[in-house]
Amino acid sequence: MNPFDQNWDSINPFKRPETDNSAAEADAAYQAKIERQQMEAEAAINAVFDKYGKSDYERIRDARTNFEDIDLKEQYADALLNLENALARGGRKGSTNLRLRADAAKDWKKQKLLSARRGEQDVQNFKNALEKARGNMHSLNVANADPAYLADAASRSASLVNAPATYEPLVDVFTSITDGLATKQEIEDRKRLMNQYKGYA
């Protein structure tokens, strides 16, 4: 063997041993893959929830007000009929009559405004529920970076939030229109009875 063919690196005291970086490179590649999947899943999740907007808010608001409008109209018509009957029984005329009808109209506007506010609250509740569902999906993404699975889970979660709402029927919202009229009538009846009693005394 020619001594000049010797691998002098093997006996070089100043040469540093080569480091095995294969494990670190594998870990880095795996981490990069997870981060890429998380980004894809995040985009898929946001795509599901970002599609909800103004038209959905209007639909939710209108669903409430349209449902309650039927009740309001029926109850208002009944309250006006009761008012007219009470006025007729009491023989009320002139300014008192006009004031009570004006108060009834104000009560109608008040109830319509309250219904609109409930519609706006429904919209806000819908927005809050969507953002909560979105947040839950992003939290799940940290533990399970599976874009396809999370996109499907986000769609199912959003569909639950977007399910048709149920409403409680309105009950006696226009009682104030005739409040006190029966009492006044009873007072007048008692006065007539007292006068009749005094006539007999």
Is residue 34 domain-resident? no
Structurally, how many domains does the chain consist of? Answer: 1
Is residue 67 domain-resident? yes
Q: What is the pLDDT of residue 182?
A: 55
Q: What is the pLDDT of residue 22?
A: 75
Q: What is the pLDDT of residue 26?
A: 78
Is residue 3 domain-resident? no
Is residue 120 domain-resident? yes
| CA–centroid distance for 39 within its chain | 29
- CA–CA separation, 95 and 176 (whole Å): 19
pLDDT block averages, 10 residues each, the chain of length 201: 55 61 77 88 94 96 96 94 81 71 93 97 97 93 86 94 90 83 57 59 50
Is residue 72 domain-resident? yes
Is residue 121 domain-resident? yes
Q: Which domain holds residue 150?
A: 61-178
In 3D space, the residue among 65, 42, 64 whose CA is nearest the CA of residue 137 turns out to be 42
Q: What is the pLDDT of residue 143?
A: 79
Q: What pTM value is reported for the model? A: 0.72
Is residue 132 domain-resident? yes
* DSSP state, residue 91: T
Find out whether 138 and 45 touch, Cβ atoms under 8 Å: yes
Q: What is the pLDDT of residue 151?
A: 92
Q: What is the pLDDT of residue 188?
A: 61
Is residue 110 domain-resident? yes
